[in-house]
């Protein structure tokens, strides 16, 4: 007995032959493609780390950014967290629904506002 042929079926979402989504309304631009290609190595490196390392480092940077006295060091820590979250949000953006996009945008905005407040002395 042989298994049924499923070669005509494609997984939901991305079309492996194009590198984009199977939905033609999602047009992968040159900037997005370049960012995705440049991010591949970093994402693989992050994936190989133990699962607890990335959240721990982000948490420490966030707390450090809030705890450092007013000045550029705290702002740099918070900006690093905001940029990292923004980078991940940018990479996942096409696959997200509207309800999933809003918290990511809010999170990045809040962290970057905190970084700006540190620079301004608040």
List pLDDT tens digits, range 46-69.
899 999 999 999 999 999 999 987
Q: Is 121 left (phi over 0), alpha (psi -120 to 50) or beta?
A: left
**pLDDT at position 4, please?**
52
Cβ contacts of residue 107 below 8 Å, gap of 6+?
A: 85, 89
Q: Which two tokens stand for residue 69?
A: 């006295």
Is the Cβ–Cβ distance between 69 and 102 less than 8 Å? no
pTM for this model (two decimals): 0.71
**pLDDT at position 77, please?**
95
CB burial of 75-114 (b: ≥16 within 10 Å; e: otherwise) equals: bbbbbbbbebbbebbbeeebeeeeeeeeebeeebeebbeb
Between 78 and 3, the more confident residue is 78
The per-residue pLDDT for range 70-108, each reduced to its tens digit, is 778 999 999 999 999 999 999 988 888 889 999 999 999
44 band by pLDDT with thresholds 50, 70 and 90? very high
pLDDT at 19 > cutoff 50 = no
122 band by pLDDT with thresholds 50, 70 and 90? confident
- Length reported for the chain: 122
């Amino acid at each position: 007995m042989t298994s049924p042929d499923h070669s005509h079926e494609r997984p939901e979402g991305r079309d492996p032959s194009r590198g984009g989504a199977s939905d033609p309304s999602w047009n992968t631009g040159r900037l997005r493609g370049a960012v995705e290609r440049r991010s591949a190595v970093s994402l693989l490196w992050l994936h190989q780390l133990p699962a607890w390392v990335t959240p721990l480092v982000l948490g420490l940077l966030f707390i450090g950014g809030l705890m450092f006295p007013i000045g550029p060091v705290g702002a740099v820590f918070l900006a690093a967290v905001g940029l990292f979250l923004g980078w991940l949000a940018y990479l996942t953006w096409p696959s997200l629904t509207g309800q999933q996009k809003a918290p990511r945008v809010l999170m990045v905005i809040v962290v970057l506002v905190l970084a700006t407040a540190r620079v301004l002395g608040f």
